[in-house]
Amino acid sequence: MVTFNRNGDAPGRYDLFQYQMNNNSSPGYKNIGQWMETLQLNIEDMQWPNGETEIPSSVCSLPCRTGERKKTVKGMPCCWHCEPCDGYQYKHDETSCKLCSYKMRPNANRTACQPIPIVKLEWHSPWAVIPVFLAMLGIIATIFVMATFIRYNDTPIVRASGRELSYVLLTGIFLCYIITFLMIAKPDVGVCSFRRIFLGLGMCISYAALLTKTNRIYRIFEQGKKSVTAPRLISPTSQLAITSSLIALQLLGVFIWFGVDPPHTIIDYDEQKTFNPDQARGVLKCDITDLQMICSLGYSILLMVTCTVYAIKTRGVPENFNEAKPIGFTMYTTCIVWLAFIPIFFGTAQSAEKLYIQTTTLCISMNLSASVALGMLYMPKVYVIIFHPELNVQKRKRSFKAVVTAASLTTRLAHKTSDRPNGEAKTELCENLDPNSPAAKKKYVSYNDIVI
C-alpha cells in the first residue's frame, strides 16, 4: 500500500550511519539507527571521542557548579563563563556574588553566610601552659618566703632587711604572678576591670618599694658625708608613706582610665581575618589597645629605671651594711628582661597569632621580673634563716658617722685592692673604724636601721 502525505510526498525513511573505527582499526560507516516518522537510535552502537560513554552536550556553556556565578560572554547572550565567588563572597543569584557582612564568612559551598567563630586564649593552649606553670611556681615560692619571714619576723636578718618594705615588696611580687591568670581568663567586664588594675600594680608596688630602699641608702650615705645628722624620712613609717604615695599615683591613673573609658569586651574580627575565610576567627578580648597597655606599664617602668639609677649610685656602699648590690643586680637583670620584651611585643603587632604571642610574652616577662627579685633579694636570706641559723645573729652597732666613713673609704681604697691580697683593703677599712673614737660616740644607729 502506497501512501502520500498532504503535500503529495511519500513518507520518508532514512538510515543513519556513523563514521567510526571498527574492530580491525580501519575506519568505516556503521548503521546506528533509522528515521521513519520517528527517530530510532542504537546508542550502544555509537562511538564518542576518547572512548567516552556519555553523550556529549551540544551547548555553548555548561551549568555552573555550586558557588559559581554566570558571566555572560560579550556578543553571545545565551553563553556564559563560570566564575567562582572568591574571598568573603557568596553566590547571591545566578549572575552575581555578594560580600558577607563584617562578622560573617561564606559557608562551604558559598550559598550563604555564616558567623565567624569566636576564639580566645584557652587554658590548655601551649601559649598558656608555660606562663601558668611559671606563675604557680612563683606563687608557691612567694608564699613560702612570706611564711618564713613571718615565722622569723623578730630575727636579725628579717629586721635588717627592713620588714615593712620587705612585706610590701613581697606583695608586689605576688601580684606580678597573679596577673598571669587574669590575662588568660575569659574576658568579661569583671576580668577586664581587674586586668586594668593589676596589670601595672604588681610592678608598681615592687619597684616603688625598691626605689624607696635605694633612695634611703643613697640619702643616708650622702648626708653622712656632710653631717653626722641623719637625713629626714628614713624611719619605717616614712618609708611606707613614700611607697604608698608612689603606688597611689598608679591607682589614680587607673581610676582616671576607668572614668574616661569604662572597661568592656570586644570581638576583634580583623586580627585573625585571613585570606582564606575558612581560617578566619574573631578574637574575644578586653578593649585595651597596645598603647594603653604600655601606658599602664609605663609608670612602673619609670620607677624601675629610676631605681636602677639609684642602684648604680649606691654600688660603692660597703656590702655589709645594706642590700644595694643585690638590688642593683636585680634591677640590671630586670632591665634586660624588659628590653627583650618590647621588640617582641611590638614586632608581632601584625601577626595572625598576635593575641597569643603578646599575652604569653607579657606574662613570662612579669613572671621573670618577679622571680629575679624573689631569687636575688629573698632566697639568700631564707637560706641563712633555715640552714644556717647560727649566722642569724645581731650585728654590733655602728655610729652613723662610722657607717658613712666606711662608704667614703671604700671608694678611696678601691684602687688599692688590685695590689693587695684579696680582702685586705676591706680589713684595713674595718680596722680604721674604731667604735671608741669620738666620731663613733656622737650618734649611734642600729645596724638594723642602716641595713635596708
Cα angle 383, 386, 392; round to 5: 85
The pLDDT of residue 409: 54
Is the pLDDT at 49 greater than 60, yes or no?
yes
Domains of the chain: 14-51 (no CATH), 68-115 (no CATH), 119-391 (1.20.1070.10), 398-450 (no CATH)
- Whether the CB-CB separation of 353 and 279 falls below 8 Å is answered with no
pTM, entire model: 0.73
What band does 105 get if pLDDT is binned at 50, 70 and 90?
A: very high
The pLDDT of residue 401: 52
Which tens digits make up the pLDDT trace of 206-244?
999 999 988 888 887 777 666 666 667 778 888 899 999
Selection from 256-265, 291-300, 393-402 with the highest mean pLDDT: 256-265
Q: How far apart are CA 129 and CA 144, in angstroms?
A: 23
Sorted by sequence, the CB contacts under 8 Å of residue 161 that are 6+ apart come out as 323, 381, 451, 452
Is the pLDDT at 417 greater than 80, yes or no?
no
Which tens digits make up the pLDDT trace of 50-97?
777 777 777 788 888 888 888 888 878 788 889 999 899 999 888 899
Which tens digits make up the pLDDT trace of 31-40?
888 888 788 8
User: How many Cα neighbours within 13 Å face the side chain of 176?
Assistant: 30
Q: Which residue has the cell 558559598?
A: 110
Give backbone dihedrals phi and psi of 167, rounded to 5 degrees, phi first. -70, -35
Of the candidate ranges 23-32, 189-198, 219-228, the one whose mean pLDDT is the lowest: 219-228
Sorted by sequence, the CB contacts under 8 Å of residue 5 that are 6+ apart come out as 11
Is the pLDDT at 396 greater than 60, yes or no?
no
The pLDDT of residue 402: 55
User: How many Cα neighbours within 13 Å face the side chain of 322?
Assistant: 27
Q: How far apart are CA 333 and CA 369, in angstroms?
A: 8
Burial of 84 (0-12, 13-18, 19+ CB in 10 A): middle
Which tens digits make up the pLDDT trace of 372-384?
999 999 999 999 9
Q: How far apart are CA 128 and CA 124, in angstroms?
A: 7
Mean pLDDT over all residues of the chain?
81
Give backbone dihedrals phi and psi of 435, rounded to 5 degrees, phi first. -65, -15
Cα angle 406, 449, 228; round to 5: 50
